[in-house]
C-alpha cells in the first residue's frame, strides 16, 4: 500500500508541469494554431482584450493613447495586434535561450515605466487561458500554458 | 457574308478589350495615391503566399534567418545603416539580441500583411511604425527604398509561390507610409 502511495506521489510530482523544453515545444505548436491569420487573428486579439478589461476595467486607463475605451477602434485593433505580435515572438523563441532573453529584456524595457500592477498581468493570463481553449477546442494543455505564461510574465515584469 | 461578319467582330472585340484595359489602367492610377493598386485580390495573394513561411512550428529559426539576412544585406548595401543597428548587436549577427531584433522586424511585416484586409487598423499600425522610425535618428527614406528592393529580391528565394506584381503594388504603399515621417 505504502508503495502504491509512493508511486502515486512520484507520478504527481513528475506531472506537475514546469515550462521545460518539452512543454515549450507543446506551447509553441498550440500557439501557432491559435494565433491564426487575418481576420481570425483580429478576433482572437479582440477577445483577449475584452476579457482583460472585463476583469480589470481600470486597466483601460493605461491604453488611452491607443483608444482603449473602444476595443473595436482601428487604433486599438492595431495595438491589440502589436501586443500579440510581441507575444508571438516570445513564444516562438521559447526554445532559443539567447534570443528569448534578449526579447524579454526588450519587452521589460518597454513596460518598465508604465507602472503596470501585477494583477493586470494576472488578468491577461486569465483572459488568455480562457480564449485559447475557445480557439483550440480540446487539444490544449492548460498547465503547460500556465507554466510558460508565468515564465514570460516574470521576464516582462522583471521581478 | 460570314467572312465579313467575322472580320467585323474581331476588331470590335479587340477594341472592347483595349477599352477595358485602358479603363483598368486609369482607375488604377486614379486610385494609386491612396491604395497603390494594392487591390483586394493583390492583398489576398500576398497573405496567402506569406502564410507559407509561418506554417511550421519550428519556423522561428527560418524567420530569424530570413530577417537577419534582410538586415545584413541592407547594411552591406548602405553601410551607414550598421551604426543604426548597433544597439541590437548587428556586429554579431549570431547573437540573441540580433536574432530577437530580426524576428521583431519580420513579425512587424507579418502583422502588416495580416492587417491588409482591415485598411483602417492597417493605417493605425503603419502610423505607429512610422512614429517608431521617426524616433530613430539617422533613419532615412532612401533606406526603406533599398529595403524594399532587397525584400523583393529575397522573397522569391524563400517563397515557392511569389507574385511579384501583387507584392510590389502592396509594399510600395506600406514602405512609403512607414517612412513618411522621416526627414531625409
Q: Show residues of chain B in contact with A92, CB under 8 Å.
A: 59-60, 63, 103
Q: Which of A32, A78, A99 sits opposite B121 (nearest CB)?
A: A78
DSSP states of chain B? -HHHHHHHHHHHHHHHHHHHHHHHHHHHHHHHHHHTT--HHHHHHHHHHHHGGG-STTHHHHHHHHHHHHHHHHHHHSTTHHHHTTTTTTTSTTSHHHHHHHHHHHHHHHHHHHTTT-HHHHHHHHHHHHHHHHTSTT--HHHHHHHHHHHHHHHHHH-SS--HHHHHHHHHHHHHHHTTT---
C-alpha cell at A148: 510558460
Q: Which residue of A has its CA nearest to B106?
A: A89
Q: Show residues of chain B in contact with A77, CB under 8 Å.
A: 115, 118, 120-121, 124
| Amino acid B107: pLDDT | 93
Say if B103 is an interface residue toward chain A (CB within 8 Å). yes
Q: Is A111 annotated as a binding residue?
A: yes
Reply yes or no on domain B39-179 having CATH 3.40.640.10.
no
| Amino acid B21: pLDDT | 65
Domain boundaries, given as residue ranges, for chain B: 39-179
Q: Which of A37, A99, A103 sits opposite B114 (nearest CB)?
A: A37
Helices B164-178 and B141-158, packing angle to 10 deg: 150
Q: How far apart are CA B184 and CA B176, in angstroms?
A: 13
Nearest C-alpha of chain B: how many angstroms from A98?
4
ipTM (interface predicted TM) = 0.81
Task: For residue range A108-155, list pLDDT tens digits in order.
Answer: 999 988 888 999 999 999 999 999 999 898 889 999 999 999 999 999
| Amino acid B59: pLDDT | 79
| Cβ contact B42:B170 at 8 Å | yes
| Amino acid B32: pLDDT | 46
Contact check, Cβ <8 Å, B60/A96: yes
Sign, CA dihedral A74-A80-A83-A88, equals negative
Q: What count of residues does chain A have?
A: 159
Contact check, Cβ <8 Å, A102/B99: yes
Say if A23 is an interface residue toward chain B (CB within 8 Å). no
Binding-face residues of B in 17-46 toward A, CB within 8 A:
none
Q: Which residues contact A138 (CB under 8 A, 6 or more apart)?
A: none
| Amino acid A138: pLDDT | 84
**For chain B, which ranges sit under pLDDT 70?**
1-36
Nearest C-alpha of chain B: how many angstroms from A72?
10
Domain boundaries, given as residue ranges, for chain A: 21-157
Reply yes or no on domain A21-157 having CATH 3.30.70.270.
no
Confidence band for A10, pLDDT divided at 50, 70 and 90: low
| Cβ contact A120:A58 at 8 Å | no
Q: What is the pLDDT averaged over residues A88-94?
A: 95
Amino acid at each position: 500500500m505504502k508503495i502504491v502511495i509512493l508511486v502515486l506521489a512520484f507520478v504527481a510530482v513528475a506531472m506537475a508541469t514546469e515550462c521545460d523544453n518539452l512543454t515549450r515545444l507543446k506551447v509553441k505548436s498550440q500557439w501557432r494554431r491559435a494565433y491564426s491569420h487575418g481576420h481570425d487573428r483580429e478576433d482572437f486579439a479582440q477577445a483577449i482584450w475584452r476579457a482583460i478589461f472585463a476583469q480589470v476595467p481600470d486597466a483601460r486607463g493605461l491604453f488611452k493613447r491607443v483608444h482603449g475605451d473602444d476595443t473595436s477602434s482601428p487604433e486599438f485593433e492595431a495595438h491589440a495586434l502589436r501586443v500579440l505580435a510581441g507575444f508571438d515572438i516570445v513564444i516562438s523563441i521559447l526554445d532559443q535561450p539567447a534570443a528569448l532573453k534578449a526579447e524579454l529584456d526588450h519587452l521589460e524595457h518597454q513596460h518598465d515605466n508604465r507602472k503596470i500592477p501585477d494583477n493586470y498581468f494576472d488578468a491577461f493570463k486569465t483572459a488568455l487561458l480562457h480564449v485559447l481553449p475557445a480557439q483550440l477546442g480540446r487539444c490544449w494543455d492548460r498547465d503547460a500554458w500556465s507554466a510558460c505564461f508565468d515564465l514570460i510574465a516574470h521576464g516582462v515584469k522583471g521581478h | 457574308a460570314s467572312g465579313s461578319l467575322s472580320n467585323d467582330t474581331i476588331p470590335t472585340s479587340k477594341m472592347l478589350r483595349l477599352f477595358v484595359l485602358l479603363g483598368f489602367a486609369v482607375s488604377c492610377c486614379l486610385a494609386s495615391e491612396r491604395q497603390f493598386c494594392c487591390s483586394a485580390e493583390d492583398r489576398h495573394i500576398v497573405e496567402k503566399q506569406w502564410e507559407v513561411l509561418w506554417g511550421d512550428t519550428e519556423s522561428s529559426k527560418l524567420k530569424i534567418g530570413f530577417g537577419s539576412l534582410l538586415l545584413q544585406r541592407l547594411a552591406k548595401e548602405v553601410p551607414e545603416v550598421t551604426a543604426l543597428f548597433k544597439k541590437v548587436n548587428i556586429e554579431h549577427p549570431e547573437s540573441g539580441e540580433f536574432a530577437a531584433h530580426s524576428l521583431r522586424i519580420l513579425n512587424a511585416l507579418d502583422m502588416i500583411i495580416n492587417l491588409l484586409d482591415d485598411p483602417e487598423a492597417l493605417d493605425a499600425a503603419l502610423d505607429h511604425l512610422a512614429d517608431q522610425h521617426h524616433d530613430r535618428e539617422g533613419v532615412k527614406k532612401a533606406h526603406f527604398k533599398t529595403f524594399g528592393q532587397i525584400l523583393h529580391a529575397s522573397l522569391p528565394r524563400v517563397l515557392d509561390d511569389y507574385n511579384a506584381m501583387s507584392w510590389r503594388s502592396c509594399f510600395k504603399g506600406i514602405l512609403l507610409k512607414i517612412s513618411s515621417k522621416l526627414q531625409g
